[in-house]
Amino acid sequence: MPIPARFSRFETLGAATQPQFVQRVMEIIEIIHLFDDFERKDILTLLERMTCFRAPADSPIVYEDEPGDFMMLLLHGSVEIVKKDSDGIYRQLGLVGPGKVLGEISLIDDAPRSAGCIARAELTFAVLDRDGLSHILENDPAVGCKILMVLLMMSTARLREISTRLANLLGEHVGLM
């Protein structure tokens, strides 16, 4: 399978169904409970549509505002999430590691990346793009439901976290809306 140009900034490691990647994903999902509903065969259905990549420390993974049609599951290494403030200066939004899913918002809504990502330590990650997700939704909708439910729980958790921060800030600074 040829690697699309948008992944050319990474070193391609190939199919996510290679034993070392399957094993790593199994280790990861035992720790993060978002995937508790997945059986081993569901994970394999997902990994069959994913490709693994490597990126060196300090390299950009995703740029804010660029189009993006894929999400990443971090397998090894760490990633800094950054966003430009109103003066154009990059601010750190967070530092995340193995098990973290990134990029799912643009995968879903097809809008530009809301933040950028930089590898802080050498990174390996598995990628699912929109074609891969569509293939699963069409051909194995039961697994598709499990994947979407994981994305929904992640999105919901982030929404609650950000809403609380917003409400607190509004309360403190300008009174709530």
Name the residue with tokens 């590691």: 97
Task: Decide whether 54 or 83 has the Cβ nearer to a second copy.
Answer: 83
Among 3, 57, 121, 162, binds a second copy (CB under 8 A): 162
Task: Decide whether 17 or 114 has the Cβ nearer to a second copy.
Answer: 114
174: phi > 0 → left, psi -120 to 50 → alpha, else beta; which? alpha
Q: Is there binding between residue 41 and a second copy (CB under 8 A)?
A: no
In this structure, the strands spanning 51-55 and 60-62 are: unpaired
Q: How far is the CB of 162 from a second copy (least distance, A)?
A: 5
58-117 binders of a second copy (CB under 8 A): 83, 85-87, 91-93, 105, 108-109, 111, 114
Name the residue with tokens 């993060």: 32
DSSP letters, 5-55, are: GGGTTSEEEEETTSHHHHHHHHHHHHHSGGGTT--HHHHHHHHTT-EEEEE
Q: How far is the CB of 50 from a second copy (least distance, A)?
A: 18
Q: How far is the CB of 11 from a second copy (least distance, A)?
A: 30
Are 74 and 104 within 8 A, CB to CB? Answer: no
Can you give the binding site for a second copy, defined by CB under 8 A?
83, 85-87, 91-93, 105, 108-109, 111, 114, 137, 141-142, 144-145, 148-149, 151-153, 155-160, 162-163, 165-177
